[in-house]
A and B are shown apart, each in its own frame.
Chain A
Amino acid sequence: MVKNKELVIIEEWCKGCSICVEFCPVKVLELKNGKVRLIDADKCTKCGLCELRCPDFAIYLEVKE
């Protein structure tokens, strides 16, 4: 299941508030030039907490077919 999901970031919508970075349980996100980015895709557990707390709908898990 987990493998079928992919973390997607909509850069234009990200305001760099850092909420997702701070609450990521495995610390795989960081801010670069005011936008969030995934630094370690392998470590990402696809728990979805970032999506849950993103106020700007800018980060989410997409189910891959």
Chain B
Amino acid sequence: MASELVERYFRKETLPNIWCPGCSNGIVTTAIVRAIDNLGLDQNKVCIVSGIGCSARASGYLDFNTLHTTHGRAIAFATGIKFANPDLTVIVITGDGDNAAIGGNHFIHACRRNIDLTVVMYNNHIYGMTGGQHSPTTPRFDRATTAPYGNIDRYFDICKLAIGAGATYVARGTAYHVQQLTKLIERGISHKGFSFIEALSICPTYYGRKNKKGTPADMLKWLKDHAVDIKQGSKMDPEEFHDKFIIGELLNIDEPEFVEEYQKILNNLKVNYK
């Protein structure tokens, strides 16, 4: 036996998962499942689409309609699913490399299109599956196997990118703040339009070791100590804020949603194809 949640929503035969000890992917994945459960969604109508990387393996563990796609392309596959069958709740699980590097183009255009998808990006600041190469969200000067002398690339703030590209729900949570993360995902799923939730995660094996970040618990504590809720964040002075990051709901607006707009065209054409 396992917990009620696992019994109901996981493919038990696929467990234990392949993730390293202390990897927070399991924590974030459970948050997604809990959000789905809290919303009381019909399991048969939920579709989980993932790309390639450590995070992407989550889809195989989950007992929904699951699709493990190609590197960076999950959102494009998900767009096809949602547009073809709007009755499905489509959730994309992706990582920082998958979504912000190779999948960047699909990401910004899905934001712009404001198609009703929920994208959860597990941001562990590194390529884990391939062994610790730097990603678009590896902080500057941090080390990775392909940045042995320190990473000279600048950090890519994907929440800002999402807002700039036209997403209508944008939030950031962490693997430490699980209850808040669950709520943010819940709201993202309920939101009509393109929802993006960045889940700050930990990779103790590659990012942690390369950068001497300590144990998995140390890394989760770091998230706890450096996260500032959006309500407090606006009141902090820049000096106090310099090594902190904002968590919470960053944007929640209503804009025309792609699938509904297409339906309007059909209605205007007074199409009767039956």
Instruction: Point out residues on A near B: beta carbons under 8 Å.
Output: 8, 10, 12-13, 15-19, 21-23, 51-58, 60-63
Contacts and interface: CB of A to CB of B under 8 A. Distances in A.
Contact of B217 (A19, A61, A63): A19
A56 B25 CA distance: 9
Contacts of A61: 3
Main secondary structure, interface of A, reads mixed
B123 to A, nearest CB: 16
Interface stretch (B16-24, B69-77, B97-105, B251-259): B16-24
Contacts of B216: 17-19
B16 A55 contact: no
B180 to A, nearest CB: 11
Contacts of B217: 18-19, 21-23
B30 A57 contact: yes
Contact of B6 (A23, A55, A57): A57
13 contacts: A17-B21, A17-B22, A54-B26, A54-B27, A55-B17, A55-B19, A55-B27, A57-B6, A57-B10, A57-B30, A60-B2, A62-B1, A63-B4
Interface string B16-55: 1101111111110010000000000000000000000000
Interface in B209-225: 215-217, 220-221
B178 A10 contact: no
Interface string B172-208: 0001101100000000000000000000000010000
Contact of A22 (B1, B4, B175, B215): B215
B271 interface: no
Contacts of B16: 12-13, 15, 56, 58
B207 to A, nearest CB: 15
Given A18-B217, A22-B215, A55 B23 contact: yes
Contacts of B6: 57, 60
Contacts of B24: 55
Contact of B22 (A18, A23, A62, A63): A18
Contacts of B23: 17, 55
Nearest to B3: A60
B2 A56 contact: no
Contacts of A52: 27, 30, 178-179
Given A22-B220, A53-B220, 4 more contacts: A53-B176, A57-B3, A57-B15, A60-B2
A56 B26 contact: yes
